[in-house]
Amino acid sequence: MEPWVVPHAQPGGREVLCLVNGEVRQRSNTSLMHFSVPALVSFISNVMMLLPGEVITTGTPAGIAPIQIGDEVTVKIEGIGTLTNTVLAK
């Protein structure tokens, strides 16, 4: 979960961008999520206990495609930061 976790950031209205080798593969906004973050937390906390520091992950917008060894994948979230990883073999 790097480069960092921003625990008090408001999730609504942030652009999310995914690039593979510099090519935009996905572009969306958190305001377009099917369920808001408060709704997700409410639902999940009714099914299981959530503890401080736990992370809830969600789905992804359209545009996914296969990636290959050597590809560089960059994810940018407006106002939070950028994470870049290179795909390696097992």
pLDDT at 40: 92
Tell me the pTM: 0.78
Number of residues assigned to the chain: 90
The residue whose two tokens read 């950028």 is 82
pLDDT at 3: 57
Domains and CATH numbers, the chain: 15-86 (3.90.850.10)
Tell me what the mean pLDDT of segment 61-65 comes to.
85
Q: Specify whether the CB–CB gap between 79 and 10 falls below 8 A.
A: no
For 28-52, what is each residue's pLDDT tens digit? 998 898 888 889 999 999 999 999 8
Q: Is the pLDDT of residue 62 over 90?
A: no
